[in-house]
Amino acid sequence: MFEIKNGMSEEKIDDIGDNHVGSSAETPLRADAFDISDTEKIEKIQENVREILLTLGMDLTDDSLQGTPKRVAKTFVNELFSGLNPANKPRLSTFDNNYKYGEMLIEKNIVVYSTCEHHLLPIVGRAHVAYISDGQVIGLSKMNRIVNYFAKRPQVQERLTMQIVQAMQEALGIQDVACVIDAKHLCVNSRGIKDIDSSTVTSEFGGKFKDTNTKREFLDYINLKTTFE
């Protein structure tokens, strides 16, 4: 067991990761996170992935593996972790609620595909997001884009849930936003305890959604079976 810079032991660090404990409500980013371009990041990551594969004993002269380091690097920067870059944040345009719709609006079953920041393994599930308009509305597809943006970074599910709600609140200028996420963590399903059936549910309720009856109404709606034939 050794000591890390902040005085935390290796055992403690392992416990945090194995128990999926988040350390911050904000995504931990260094101040110089964007000092180099995406192209430079891909080049650096490519070399690191190459070293990892060589260390594992893989033969990178094999036709199937020759392009793997670059493919992984591009996937990290352009896809899996593209939500780290603020330049990729969706424009959250709002519109006047001219039709005076005053009930909650819910976008159900938004696909969540994220990555656990402790083991860099997938988090896969569904998000349900709702708000109650106070004069402004947001495009339905923007709700999907908000979820996708914050999911595309190393995450813990609790933080992801909170970030989605905070982004919606900021865009709409209201507190009346809610989000529930139900997801499987492959770091639980495929390693460690290897429980393939368990999933994790997190929630964040703002404003009127803290009211018991409003919260129950939202949860009842997301439990409705939506089928089309």
Say whether 179 is catalytic: no
Q: How many domains does the chain have?
A: 2
Same structural domain for residues 107 and 57?
A: no
Same structural domain for residues 195 and 103?
A: yes
Say whether 157 is catalytic: yes
Reported confidence tier of residue 197, pLDDT bands at 50, 70, 90: confident
Point out the catalytic residue in the list 20, 116, 155, 163.
Answer: 116
Instruction: Tell whether the model's pLDDT for residue 3 goes beyond 50.
Output: no
Same structural domain for residues 139 and 218?
A: yes
185 forms bridges with which residues in the sheet? 123
3-state DSSP: the chain helix, strand, coil percent, rounded to 5?
40, 20, 40
In this structure, of 125-129, 131-135, 152-156, 197-201, the range with the lowest mean pLDDT score is 197-201
Domain extent at residue 16: 10-88
Point out the catalytic residue in the list 20, 119, 166, 179.
Answer: 119
Interhelix angle 68-75/38-55, rounded to 10 degrees, is 130
Same structural domain for residues 78 and 121?
A: no
Q: Which of 56, 88, 120 is the last residue of a domain?
A: 88
Same structural domain for residues 71 and 183?
A: no
Say whether 175 is catalytic: no
Point out the catalytic residue in the list 46, 163, 179, 187.
Answer: 187
Q: Which of 64, 88, 112 is the last residue of a domain?
A: 88
Q: Is residue 5 part of a domain?
A: no
- pLDDT for the residue 123: 96
Same structural domain for residues 84 and 98?
A: no
Same structural domain for residues 104 and 131?
A: yes
Q: DSSP assignment of 163-203, as one string? A: HHHHHHHHHHT-S-EEEEEEEEEHHHHSSTT--SS--EEEE
Instruction: Tell whether the model's pLDDT for residue 35 goes beyond 90.
Output: yes
pTM (two decimals): 0.87
Q: Which of 73, 88, 103 is the last residue of a domain?
A: 88
Q: Is residue 128 part of a domain?
A: yes
Same structural domain for residues 128 and 54?
A: no
Q: Is residue 16 part of a domain?
A: yes
CATH number at residue 134: 3.30.1130.10
Reported confidence tier of residue 198, pLDDT bands at 50, 70, 90: confident
Instruction: Tell whether the model's pLDDT for residue 11 goes beyond 90.
Output: no
Same structural domain for residues 101 and 206?
A: yes
Write the CA distances from 168 to 11, 128, 209, integer angstroms.
38, 13, 14
Please name the residue that has the structure tokens 């290897």.
194
Mean pLDDT of 157-183: 97
Q: Is residue 229 part of a domain?
A: no
